[in-house]
Structure 1
Amino acid sequence: MSTARILARNLLANWVGFAANVLVMFFLSPFVIHTLGEAVYGIWSLLMVLTGYLGIADIGVRASTGRYVVLYLGQHDHRRLGETIRTGLTLFSILGIVLLLVGLVVGLGFPYFFRSTPEEYQRTAAVLMPALALNVWFMFLGAVFSSILTAHDRFDLARGVDLGVLALRATGTVLALKGGYGIVGLTIVTLICGLLALLANFV
Structure 2
Amino acid sequence: MLNISGLIDNIKKYFVKGHSRDKLIKKNILFSYVYKALDICLGFLLVPLVLSYLNEEQYGVWLLLFSLTGYFSFMDVGLSHGLRNKFAEAKAKDEVEKLRYYVSTTYALLAIIGSVFFIVFFIVNSFVNWERILNTKIILNDDLATLSLFVFGAFSLQFVFKIILTILTADQRPSIINLQGFLIKCLQVATILVLIKFTEGSLLILGAAFSMIPIVSLIGLTIYYFNKDYKYIRPKMAYIDFSYLKDIMNVGIKFFFITVAAIVLFSTDNLIITQLYGPEQVTPYQIANKYFGMSLMLFAIIVQPLWSAVTDAFHKDDFDWIKNTMKKMTKIWLLFSAGTLFMLIISPYFFKIWLGDKVHISLTLSFFWFVFIVIQSYNMIYTYFINGVGKLKVQLYITLFSILFNIPASIFLAKTLNMGVSGVIMATTISMLLSAVVKTIQYNKIINLRAHGVWNK
TM-score (ref. length: structure 1):
0.83
Structure 1 pair 115–163 and aligned structure 2 pair: CA distance change class (3 A): closer
Among candidates 70, 77, 85, match of residue 52 of structure 1: 70
Task: Determine the structure 1 residue equivalent to 2:164.
Answer: 145
Give the letter for the 1:198 counterpart: L
User: C-alpha displacement at 1:165, in angstroms?
Assistant: 2.2
Q: Is the 8 A contact 2:131 2:137 kept in 1?
A: no
Give the letter for the 2:115 counterpart: I
Distance (Å, rounded) in 2 between the aligned partners of 1:120 and 1:162: 30
Q: How many residues align?
A: 203
Q: Does 1:14 align with 2:26?
A: no
User: C-alpha displacement at 1:93, in angstroms?
Assistant: 1.0
Task: Determine the structure 2 residue equivalent to 1:67.
Answer: 85
Task: Determine the structure 2 residue equivalent to 1:23.
Answer: 41
User: C-alpha displacement at 1:111, in angstroms?
Assistant: 4.1
User: C-alpha displacement at 1:164, in angstroms?
Assistant: 1.7
Segments of 5+ residues of structure 2 without an aligned counterpart are: 1-15, 225-457
User: C-alpha displacement at 1:119, in angstroms?
Assistant: 6.5
Distance (Å, rounded) in 2 between the aligned partners of 1:195 and 1:123: 24
Q: Is the 8 A contact 2:131 2:139 kept in 1?
A: no
Give the letter for the 2:32 counterpart: N
- Aligned partner of residue 109 in structure 1, secondary structure: coil
Distance (Å, rounded) in 2 between the aligned partners of 1:86 and 1:116: 42
Q: Is the 8 A contact 2:36 2:182 kept in 1?
A: no
- Aligned partner of residue 118 in structure 1, secondary structure: coil
- Once the two structures are overlaid, the 10-residue window that deviates more, 84-93 or 2-11, is 2-11
Task: Determine the structure 2 residue equivalent to 1:133.
Answer: 152
Segments of 5+ residues of structure 1 without an aligned counterpart are: none
Q: Is the 8 A contact 1:13 1:155 kept in 2?
A: no
- Deviations along 1:136-166, whole A, 9 cap, x unmatched? 2333323311233333333333332332222
Give the letter for the 1:61 counterpart: L
Structure 1 pair 191–112 and aligned structure 2 pair: CA distance change class (3 A): closer
User: C-alpha displacement at 1:33, in angstroms?
Assistant: 2.0
Give the letter for the 2:215 counterpart: L
- Once the two structures are overlaid, the 10-residue window that deviates more, 62-71 or 38-47, is 38-47
Equivalences for 1:101-140 in 2 at 5 Å? 101=119, 103-104=121-122, 105-106=124-125, 108-111=127-130, 113-114=132-133, 116-118=135-137, 120-140=139-159
Distance (Å, rounded) in 1 between the aligned partners of 2:138 and 2:40: 34
Task: Determine the structure 1 residue equivalent to 2:197.
Answer: 178
Give the letter for the 1:195 counterpart: I
Distance (Å, rounded) in 1 between the aligned partners of 2:35 and 2:125: 32
Task: Determine the structure 2 residue equivalent to 1:76.
Answer: 94
Distance (Å, rounded) in 2 between the aligned partners of 1:24 and 1:52: 23
Structure 1 pair 154–188 and aligned structure 2 pair: CA distance change class (3 A): same
Q: Is the 8 A contact 1:135 1:195 kept in 2?
A: yes
Q: Does 1:196 align with 2:216?
A: yes
Among candidates 104, 120, 126, match of residue 86 of structure 1: 104
Structure 1 pair 25–103 and aligned structure 2 pair: CA distance change class (3 A): farther
Distance (Å, rounded) in 1 between the aligned partners of 2:134 and 2:179: 42
Q: Is the 8 A contact 1:138 1:198 kept in 2?
A: no
Q: Which has the larger radius of gyration?
A: 2
Give the letter for the 1:124 counterpart: D
Give the letter for the 2:67 counterpart: V
Identity of aligned residues (%): 21
Distance (Å, rounded) in 1 between the aligned partners of 2:94 and 2:147: 44
User: C-alpha displacement at 1:60, in angstroms?
Assistant: 1.9
What do you get for the CA RMSD once the two structures are aligned?
2.6
Q: Is the 8 A contact 1:10 1:155 kept in 2?
A: yes
**More helix per residue: 1 or 2?**
1
